[in-house]
Structure 1
Amino acid sequence: MQKRRRFKQQFTLQDRLAAWSQEILAQAAALPPGPERDALIKKARQAEVASRVDDWAAGPT
């Protein structure tokens, strides 16, 4: 049986999602209006929502 490769993330999920969202928005800004740009903007919004959901789920218990 193979062992799972485990490692600790260096940055929090929120940090990684925020960085990825900013990178995607920068890519979208470089594109002309169209379906590719819309898809990138949609991905960035999904990352922002995921960050909010993670924050909500980890809220005060």
Structure 2
Amino acid sequence: MQKRRRFKQTKTLGQRLAEEVTRLRDQARALPPGRSREMLLRKARQDETAIQIESWLRSPGLRAPT
């Protein structure tokens, strides 16, 4: 039986997602308008949404988003 390799994260999910957003937006700025640029910006928006959801899940009381 093969053992699973585990990796200890040194940064929180929110930090990693925020870095990814910055990297994606920088990459998109370097590209001319087109499909690849739009895909990078779309992924950046998805990561921003994930940051908001993650912060909502970690908040005390878990109130529904408005």
Tell me which interval the TM-score lies in, with the shorter structure as reference length.
over 0.9
Number of positions where the alignment pairs a residue of Structure 1 with one of Structure 2: 61
1:8-49 Cα offsets, whole Å, 9 max, x none, are 200000000000110000000000111110000000000000
Structure 1 segments unaligned to the other structure (5+ residues)? none
Q: Percent identity?
A: 51
Higher relative contact order (CA 8 A, sep 6+): 1
Q: TM-score, normalised by structure 1?
A: 0.92
Pairwise CA RMSD: 0.9
Normalising by structure 2, we get a TM-score of: 0.86
Give the ranges of 4+ consecutive aligned residues of structure 1 lying more than 3 Å apart after TM superposition. Answer: none
Tell me what 1:32 maps to. 32
Ranges in structure 2 where 5+ consecutive residues have no aligned partner: 62-66
